[in-house]
Structure 1
Amino acid sequence: MSEETEEGAIATVRYFIDALNFAYATTDTKHVRTLFDQSCEFCKPLVENIDDAKSEGNKFENYELQIDEILKSGSMDSELFAVAANVSQQPITVLTAAGEVVRTSDPVTGHRSMFALQYRDGSWMVREISR
């Protein structure tokens, strides 16, 4: 992740997914917030959703986002590097503190996502994710 290489960028995407899974499992978004730029319009609502659930006393069950396949990667411009991946997600169930189901999402399989990354201050950072 700290290497300014294609491998480092791909490792960052994988690590970001792991950190997001951890955030959903624990409702603790502190670490995952350090992995994306605050300009990331896709990232901010994800962590805000987790923070909102936590403040309401809710939790997530069965959340698992996974990368099925890295499709391609390469420079987008002089600042950004792109990693395209097929991503899947298990159905997410939101539960109250009492264990009552608030809502359940549908699973997502093989969805193509594009991660735009920027290398700065010695590490990669997610700048944007598009679907």
Structure 2
Amino acid sequence: MDSLRLERLVWAVLVGLIVAVPLGFLLAPDPTGLVPLALAAVAFLVSVPLVFRAFSYAASPTADPGDMTAEFVVFFAVTLTVRLALGALNFDGFAGNLVSFGAGWIAASYVPQRLNPCRWVTGA
């Protein structure tokens, strides 16, 4: 397995967990039995291949190992930082979420060209 597929698989598993755990433990009728675990396991087994396939289709032909990781790290860091800063200024609600999401999206769009250390080494 090449490093790009491994990176996509790791992120697909993480996104699958993020989807499956709330689905299993918040939507199950009895949060104490085996039903939430079964629902979470089914959601995980369904979501991971779908997310992996979506990541494969969304990847750039010039993608290098580390691009997706750098994009996600920058996206979440910028989104969280802007959201906390706007919350400190009492700019809450949908508009604050939209602004922080947009800032994270814009920052993540510049990552593969500028912030991936793997590209610094190769000079790409």
Q: Settle same-fold status: TM greater than 0.5.
A: no
The structure whose residues are more often strand, as a share, is: 1
Whose radius of gyration is greater, 1 or 2? Answer: 2
TM-score interval w.r.t. the shorter chain?
under 0.3
TM-score computed with the length of structure 2 as normaliser: 0.27
